[in-house]
Amino acid sequence: MSKQDNETFLARWLNNELTDSELEDFKNTSEFKEYEKIRRGLTYFRAPSFEKEQQLQHTFDKLTKKHSKKTIRLKPLLYTISAAASILLIIGLFFNTITHSTAHGEKRTVALPDGSSVELNAASSIRYKRFFWQNNREIQLKGEAYFVVTKGEKFSVHTTSGEVKVLGTRFNLKDRANQYKVSCYEGKVQVTTAEDYSVKLEKGETISVINKKISEEKTLHTEPLWKKGESLFDSVPLGEVLDEIERQYNISFVRGAIPQEKIFTGGFIHTDLEIALETVLTPMGITYSKENTTVTLFVK
């Protein structure tokens, strides 16, 4: 159900314009009790009493007398504001979104309303609508996350680089810098990239889009390595590896004139910064000095 359809439906409900069958179906939804609570809460919004209006008008007259002879009648304005506030409140409550995010060096698992779960990698976030989740399972993702989706209505994940649609499955989605990557670990997923390339992935299949170049490959593991505290790279620019170290350890590099476009193959662990730095930098001929959370890099 689209936002516009939702708003029309709710407006008809608030005006007692639903048919008997529509109302009965609505009462049987899991969201009805929440909507009813909000509507009851709106009964506490009242326009000011006549005496209060007179006091407000008197104050307003004093404030405006020096600037204009024109007097604004407050009664209709206050009733209009009260009604508008109620409408904005209920629309805001119905259609606001929930956001979950992770900082650099942090991972977390989020339980969704239908029992699905999302594990966020470092420096990532998801956003979805608070209500109508069962009929509109859509998520906006920034960064990287691993999804375990329960069967039900269509489930989709949107990023700036593409869209993934599923019914029930396990998959990992990464959208960082110039890389968009989807790996399917169970079931099937439909992937559509920003370039309108569409492909259906089954268990054990991966699609990558790097600098708009599309490649399909096998998924080598049973779950993403970052869930086990590891990052693995195959022929990627060193700068991207350094970006990931910053995300996992909440540090910042002073990169100077190091060759960030130089190709790196290998990996690092997420549990020991010194080992991670040595593993990545030593083979690339780079030394470093560390002060608090700042790591300065030098070419040997």
Question: In Å, how far from its chain's centre is CA 83?
Answer: 32
- In tens digits, the chain (300 residues) has pLDDT values of 555 566 566 767 776 777 888 788 777 776 677 676 666 655 444 444 445 455 555 555 554 554 444 444 444 444 444 555 555 555 555 557 899 999 999 999 999 988 999 999 999 999 998 777 777 899 999 999 999 999 888 899 999 999 999 988 999 999 998 889 999 999 999 999 988 899 999 999 999 998 888 999 998 889 999 999 999 998 899 999 999 999 999 999 999 889 999 999 999 999 999 999 999 999 999 999 999 999 999 997
Residue 198 has which token pair? 């569409």
The pLDDT of residue 136 is 83
| Dihedral Cα 27, 112, 100, 269, nearest 10 deg | 180
* Domain boundaries, given as residue ranges, for the chain: 3-95, 97-218, 229-299
Closest CA to 187 of 209, 204, 163, 174: 204
The pLDDT of residue 80 is 47
- Assess contact for 157 and 191: CB atoms under 8 A: no
Residues 6+ apart with CB under 8 A from 181: 172, 173, 174, 175, 206, 207, 208, 209
pLDDT (tens digit per residue) in 33-49: 767 666 665 544 444 44
Four-way CATH pick for 229-299: 3.55.50.30, 3.20.19.10, 3.90.1150.10, 3.40.50.970:
3.55.50.30
Angle (deg, nearest 10), helices 32-42 and 3-14: 60
Closest CA to 4 of 167, 165, 12, 154: 12
CATH number for the domain formed by residue range(s) 97-218:
2.60.120.1440
| Dihedral Cα 11, 17, 20, 25, nearest 10 deg | -10
Residues 6+ apart with CB under 8 A from 242: 253, 255, 260, 280
The pLDDT of residue 135 is 77
* Distances from the Cα of 236 to the Cα of 46, 173, 209, 244, 257, angstroms: 62, 18, 13, 12, 18
Give me Rg for the CA atoms of the chain.
27
Closest CA to 230 of 280, 265, 269: 269
For residues 164 and 157, give the distance between their C-alpha atoms in angstroms, rounded to a whole number. 5
